[in-house]
Homo-oligomer: A and B are copies of this chain.
Amino acid sequence: MHAEPPEHVGIDLAERSYEILIGARIFDAPHSYAGLGNGGAAVVVTNTTVAPLLAERLLTALRTQYPRVLLVTLPDGEEHKTWPTLNLIFDALLQAGCDRATTLFALGGGVIGDLTGFAAACFMRGVAFVQVPTTLLAQVDSSVGGKTAVNHPLGKNMIGVFHQPLRVVVDLDVLDTLPEREFNAGLAEVIKYGPIADAAFLGWIEANLPALCARDKPALRHAVKRSCQIKTAIVAQDEREADLRAVLNFGHTFGHAIENGLGYGRWLHGEAVGCGMVMAADLSARLGLIDAGYAKRIRDIVQRAGLPVVGPRLGTPRYLELMRVDKKARAGEIRFVVIEAPGRAGVRGAPDALVAQVIEAHTA
Kindly report how many copies of this chain are found in the complex they form together. Answer: 2
Given contacts A125-B161, A149-B125, contact A99 B330 (CB under 8 A): yes
A159 vs B83: C-alpha distance when bound (angstroms): 12
Interface string of A35-64 (1 = CB under 8 A from B): 000011000000000000000000000000
Answer yes or no: A160 CB below 8 A from chain B CBs: yes
Contacting residues, chain B, for A330 (C-beta < 8 A): 39, 99-101
User: Which one of B124, B241, B331 contacts A327 once the chains associate, using CB atoms below 8 Å?
Assistant: B124
Q: How many residues of A contact B (CB 8 A)?
A: 38
A332 contacts B154, CB within 8 Å?
A: no
A160 vs B122: C-alpha distance when bound (angstroms): 5
- Which residues from 67 to 115 on chain A have a C-beta closer than 8 Å to any C-beta of chain B? 83, 87, 90-91, 94-95, 97, 99-101
A51 vs B147: C-alpha distance when bound (angstroms): 35
A325 contacts B90, CB within 8 Å?
A: no
Answer yes or no: A152 CB below 8 A from chain B CBs: yes
User: Which one of B90, B159, B240, B332 contacts A152 once the chains associate, using CB atoms below 8 Å?
Assistant: B90
A330 vs B97: C-alpha distance when bound (angstroms): 10
A-B contacts, 25 listed (Cβ < 8 Å): A40-B331, A90-B159, A91-B152, A91-B154, A94-B155, A94-B158, A94-B325, A97-B324, A99-B329, A100-B327, A101-B331, A121-B161, A122-B160, A122-B161, A123-B158, A123-B159, A124-B158, A124-B327, A125-B149, A125-B160, A125-B161, A125-B162, A125-B240, A126-B162, A161-B161
